[in-house]
Amino acid sequence: MKKIIVLLMVLILLFTVGCSGEKSFSDNLSCEDIAAAYQSVGEKPEYEKFYRKSENNLDAFSMSLWADGLFQECEELELLEDYAIYLGSGADTYEVTVLKAKNEQDIDVLVDLIERRKKTLQNGDKGMYDQNFETKMANSVLKTDGKFVVFLITDDNDAALKAAEKLEEQ
């Protein structure tokens, strides 16, 4: 009898957790799809650079230059299943980065990579060109969602996040 009660309690707990309303991106979504949703609101600058897995245009050296401002090999590239990175031109502080890890246990490594990217931006010279640089950096968003890591520096991150909610599944 005790086993049946314990089994029922476990089933109820699993059902409650499964129906908790937690939403996340489907593993089937591409980083380009998610990035497009984030970019669907607000004013988009002219892009200086973009990197997309579909174009296979990011190598370990370019990734290191993006993340650390250094031209050396960036081992984190091997952890990515997919990516989409959109960068504004020199005078615009704008970035939409969506990275998808091959394995969820690598998310913390990718979050550290984004933190290094943020420091690289803060130590750079964009502040000389964009009068809103400090505000945009202070309002930047770093978000994890399953196997995805998102970094946003837009004019309206809240609207960008809301636009991407449509892609989230229950």
Q: What pLDDT was estimated at residue 15?
A: 37
With a cut of 90, say whether residue 23 has pLDDT above it.
no
| Mean pLDDT along residues 64-88 | 89
pLDDT confidence bin for 8, thresholds 50/70/90:
very low
Express each pLDDT in 105-139 by its tens digit. Answer: 999 999 999 999 999 988 887 767 788 888 999 99
Instruction: Give exposure, 97-117, as e/b (b: 16+ Cβ within 10 Å).
Output: bbbbbeeeebbeebbebbebb
Q: Who wins on pLDDT, 67 or 142?
A: 142
Distance of CA 91 to the CA centre of its chain: 22
Mean pLDDT lowest for which of 59-63, 90-94, 126-130? 126-130
The model's pTM: 0.81
Question: 4 versus 6: which is more confidently predicted?
Answer: 4
Q: What confidence score (pLDDT) does residue 169 get?
A: 64
Average pLDDT for 152-161: 91
Query: SS3 letters for the chain?
Result: CHHHHHHHHHHHHHHHHHCCCCCEECCCCCHHHHHHHHCCCCCCCCEEEEEEHHHCCCCHHHHHHHHHCCCCCCHHHHHEEEEEEEEECCCCCCEEEEEEECCHHHHHHHHHHHHHHHHHHHCCCHHHHCCCHHHHHHCCEEEEECCEEEEEECCCHHHHHHHHHHHEEC
- Specify the pLDDT at position 81: 94
Which residue did the predictor score with more confidence, 152 or 22? 152
pLDDT at 153: 93
Q: What is the mean pLDDT of the chain?
A: 81
Mean pLDDT of 148-169: 89
Mean predicted confidence (pLDDT) in 74-82: 92
Q: What Rg, from alpha-carbon coordinates, does the chain have?
A: 19
Predicted confidence (pLDDT) at residue 51 exceeds the cutoff of 60:
yes
